[in-house]
Chain A
Amino acid sequence: MEALLTMSPQALIAQLLIGLINGSFYAILSLGLAIIFGLLNVINFAHGAMYMLGAFFAWLALTQVGTWIGSPDISISYWLALLLAPLAVALLGMALERTLLRRLYKLDHLYGLLFTFGLSLFLEGIFTQWWGAAGQSYPVPEALSGAVRFEALGVVLPKYRVWVVFASLLVCLLTWWAIERTRLGAFLRAGTDNPRLLRAFGVNVPLMITLTYGFGVFLAGFAGVLAAPVYQVSPLMGTNLIIIVFAVVVIGGMGSIGGAIVTGLALGIVEGLSKIVYPQASAITIFLIMAIVLMIRPSGLFGKTA
């Protein structure tokens, strides 16, 4: 704890910001996992691979697309990629759902997990083969490079990192609002509770399932593009993250959208703080918290059923 007290506010807040960035990725990814699980009954192991695809598509769009179409000057900027890359991920996801994932709904949940595990090995392997396991760096977009000064706190922070936190919080809140407060969200909640009844009311549930999977992996792809300038773009970036997100989901429970967001952010901050106190253990902090939560409250913090 001494390290926490002796730290300058500048360093402390910078460290908190990193925790908050990780936390917002945890929040976006666990949100997507929860939405997908609610309707499809599939734990999407490939969520990490989709996050990686988002980052990779953005990187390819910036650096490679021009040469592919014969004019190296053309490249797709960060802002366009922020929309296009997740859309591409969503299209790919929806195609997979329509052709393959769909066959697994009637089976035990475990088969969905195993299938998506195979899928993420497949995607990870292909990108490792094409671009190597080492990371590619993605430059911070012009408008967000440099630092921003917060007079009230007396600290200077990198502009891009502040933007990441802002953008992910916005997306989380929008998703929460769309699910809890709109008519479309009401359909989604109804489908989660009782898909057969919803179908009897004339709602095209299979289409809804496809769109939901698409939206879930869209969120993952979006997080991937946000992450590209912060971390290295590498084929393995997703799977290491998704294992932590699984722990986050176990801690939070998948029953509530708000719960997933709050748990993700809080765990990111706790992990960031543990990096200051005892850096070697920061990688295992969340797993440790998961073990403790399971012992005290097996159904998770926001879980409805055991």
Chain B
Amino acid sequence: MNTRSHTTVAPTTQNRKRWNLGVWLAVIALILAMLVPFQSAVYPVFIMKVMCFGLFACAFNLLLGFGGLLSFGHAAFFGSAAYVTAYLCKELGFGPGLGLLAGMGTSAILGAIIGSIAIRRQGIYFAMVTLALAQFVYFVALQAPFTGGEDGIQNVPRGLLFGVIDLSDDTAMYYLILAVFLAGVFVVHRIVNSHFGEVLMAIRENEPRAISLGYEVSRVKLLVFVLSATLAGLAGSLKALLFQIASLADVHWHASGEVILMTLLGGMGTLLGPLVGAAMVVTLHSYLSGVGAWSTVIIGLVFMICVTAFRRGVIGEIYAWLQRGKARS
């Protein structure tokens, strides 16, 4: 990935205006999101699903958009956290809070293991290594005694948050997911805009130069990998509570491919892009739920169109368009 700077739309310090716009859009979106359970036009479960996958895509984007590392195995973290949360809450009677924490912890440890192996190779090999290691996790999930094989872990109780808030009520669940989602996106925002984030982007742009400047590139890469895996795990645990199921689909390479598509479609390297992409892919899936394998065909087509003609993604194109307008005036 070295020396190729044109691959991503990087938010650098010169683009503060862009961020201001992003903040305003975020505030409007937040107000709208708070109102969701009080109306009937939008289905709350749909929005909750979008937020779970939005957080997943945001975590993935931290790695690809800002770190320049393409992980082809992020479903491993999403899925294993979902399994751990589901198992603890169903079989051992954990509360949802502890379940979420344990899921995050699992994906953080798994991220440290897979990350420390994968960062030994760069670029295209990094993608292949993460894909292969995620397939390893998939086979473990398929054969381990506690994952329920093909059925997965079903009927996971949502339980009482902090012992008092009953999450089986969809409104309570909605606000929990909204809070966690916002916290997750805020964490990503802070990471990207910190000194660490600057170093990360420096490595993305030119790894040999970052090394020669004295940065410990491997440590930065490993840290961002673990952070991304942890947040992806948080999204997976939330999804397990929301749909009350953890299944093989969560760890399958299809899920890894889908999170790439969300990020690419929305615009990698932007804060809002992955969220927009997640909303688009989830919407696409809900429209395509009745057409069988055609949904795979269409997802594949969208992938190919995105890569050949639409690499900046929706949000990236909007930013580029706004900047062209500014240059003209």
Contacts and interface: CB of A to CB of B under 8 A. Distances in A.
A167 interface: no
A80 interface: no
Interface stretch (B40-48, B221-229, B297-305): B297-305
A246 B302 CA distance: 24
Contacts of A37: 124
B24 to A, nearest CB: 32
B308 A115 contact: yes
Contacts of B117: 291, 294-295
B300 A121 contact: yes
State which size class the interface on B falls in.
35 or more
A288 B133 CA distance: 8
A294 B121 contact: yes
B307 A122 contact: no
Q: Tell me the interface secondary structure of chain A in the complex.
A: helix
A294 B307 contact: no
Contacts of A108: 1, 4, 7, 123
B300 A125 contact: yes
Interface string B303-321: 1101110010000000000
Contacts of A89: none
A128 B292 CA distance: 9
A104 B311 CA distance: 11
B303 A121 contact: yes
Contacts of B129: 250, 290, 294
A126 interface: yes
A259 B301 CA distance: 35
A111 interface: yes
A274 to B, nearest CB: 13
A113 B140 CA distance: 26
B254 to A, nearest CB: 8
A249 interface: yes
Interface in A91-115: 100, 103-104, 107-111, 113-115
Given A103-B308, A124-B296, A110 B70 contact: yes
B307 A118 contact: yes
Given A118-B307, A125-B297, A294-B121, A287 B127 contact: no
Contacts of B7: 107-108, 110-111
A125 B253 contact: no
B293 interface: yes
Interface of A: 37, 43, 100, 103-104, 107-111, 113-115, 117-126, 128-129, 133, 239, 243-244, 246-247, 249-250, 280, 283-284, 286-288, 290-291, 294-295, 298, 306
